[in-house]
Amino acid sequence: MAHGTIEIDHARCKGCELCTTVCPKQIIVMDTTTLNAKGYHPANLFDPDDHCTGCAICAVICPDTCITVYREAAVHLERR
Amino acid sequence: MMTLSMEDIPHLEMETVYSRPESLSSRPTHYCPGCTHGIAHRILAEAFDELGIRERVILVAPVGCSVFAYDYFEADGCEAAHGRAPAMATGIKRTRPDNIVVSYQGDGDLASIGAAEILHAAARGEHITSIFINNAVYGMTGGQMAPTTLLGQRTTSSPTGRDANMTGFPLRMSELLSQLDATAYIARVSLHDVKHIRQAKKAVITALKAQMQGLGFSMVEMLSSCPTNWGMTPKDALKWVETNMIPQYPLGDYKMIDEVRALALERKQG
């Protein structure tokens, strides 16, 4: 399984929670301990066991383009 | 605020597979949380990037929630009077035929006050692309009933539900426009889940290609949600689109002339 990760722009996040509902691994959670400048609890990646595959489904549903997705590149791995 | 940078990520061979499209401005939008306007903007921007037409695009913004749409694209744009985006787009396209002219309108704008403009622009076969966001209410003014409001749907101006005896029936714009001879591509898509968002993007690309080839008028209607005015969470609102709107507004390509079908197939094979 491909390995990936995401970066969430917390300042842009409006806390709509759509990314948390579509993540196949259920590893995006709302961070209820902080508020951003807009006053929303931002979404956060909670992935201690490296489950993220970089599928980008969260980024496709995000209405505010907060999510950047990274994935291990197969070509790089072959090169080694 | 905690942000991850590439230095924090242990695998440095990671490559970016998804980031904000170049055609989309970095300015945060004013839309409510969970509003699908943001998704529609992004897929439109991705389509501009993929087709490499950003420098040629002129976006005509409507009146409604998306009134500032031109601020959110790294492309040229202008603002039309309420409902008149297709008329303005007609003028721009006829004087600057090499530009790609895209009008972006909501349902209050396109199906109500602008019904005449969109019908006649389509009937004349203007070489423009119309993006029609259908969320079944007037969003900006506070959730009043729109021509596209479903029967029985509660809005601030139909508090007991839309009654056909009083206000008639919902208007199906894609079906209407598909009856006109000069239209090249009319499709209805939905933004309620990831699969349908991907299909919506394909439809937008087909519509823009149809314009680039000078095949005639193209429109993509997108079923969208309005969590704020529907009084729902963003997740429930997307579910409501699927269960209530799609039966009333079936998805699909309502008009696709042979030349456009060839363009769509070309994409599938490529």
Nearest to B44 by CA among B197, B268, B239, B232: B197
In this prediction, residue A72 has a pLDDT band, given cuts at 50, 70 and 90, of confident
Sorted by where each begins, the domain ranges of chain A are: 4-71
Q: Which domains does chain B carry?
A: 30-269 (3.40.50.970)
Cβ atoms of B116 and B87 closer than 8 Å: no
**Which pLDDT score, from 0 to 100, does residue A76 have?**
43
CB contact under 8 A, B17 and A9: no
**Which pLDDT score, from 0 to 100, does residue A80 have?**
44
In 10 A of CB B173, how many CB atoms?
A: 26
> Which chain A residues have a beta carbon less than 8 Å from that of B28?
11-12, 64
Is the pTM higher than 0.90? The answer reads yes
E-state strands within chain B: 14-18, 57-61, 76-79, 100-106, 129-134, 137-138, 144-145, 183-190, 217-223, 252-256
Nearest to B80 by CA among B23, B32, B143, B128: B128
A28: contact with B, CB 8 A cutoff: no
Whether the pLDDT of residue B199 is over 90: the answer is yes
Mean pLDDT of B125-139: 96
Mean pLDDT of B15-34: 94
ipTM of this complex: 0.90
Whether the pLDDT of residue A75 is over 60: the answer is no
Which among A15, A59, A72 has the least Cβ separation from residue B33? A15
Query: Mutate which of B15, B193, B201, B225 to test chain A, going by most A C-beta atoms within 10 A?
Result: B15
Tens digits of residue pLDDT in A36-62: 999 999 999 999 999 999 999 999 999
Whether the pLDDT of residue B75 is over 80: the answer is yes
CA atoms within 13 A on the CB side of A30: 13
Whether the pLDDT of residue B41 is over 50: the answer is yes
In this prediction, residue B33 has a pLDDT band, given cuts at 50, 70 and 90, of very high
Tens digits of residue pLDDT in A11-41: 999 999 999 999 999 999 999 999 999 999 9
Nearest to B197 by CA among B36, B72, B54, B74: B36
**Which pLDDT score, from 0 to 100, does residue B265 have?**
86
The Cα B269–Cα B186 span in angstroms is: 21
**Which pLDDT score, from 0 to 100, does residue B11 have?**
45
Mean pLDDT of B150-179: 96
Burial state string for B122-155 with b = 16 or more CB within 10 A and e = fewer than 16: beeebbbbbbbbbbbbbbbeebbbbbbbbeebbb
Q: Give the closest-approach CA distance of B16 to chain A in angstroms.
A: 4
Query: Mutate which of A6, A35, A65, A67 to test chain B, going by most B C-beta atoms within 10 A?
Result: A65
> Which chain B residues have a beta carbon less than 8 Å from that of A34?
1
Query: Could you say which architecture CATH assigns to the domain A4-71?
Result: 2-Layer Sandwich (3.30)
Whether the pLDDT of residue B2 is over 90: the answer is no
CB contact under 8 A, A73 and B3: no
CB contact under 8 A, B20 and A65: yes
Cβ atoms of B155 and B144 closer than 8 Å: yes
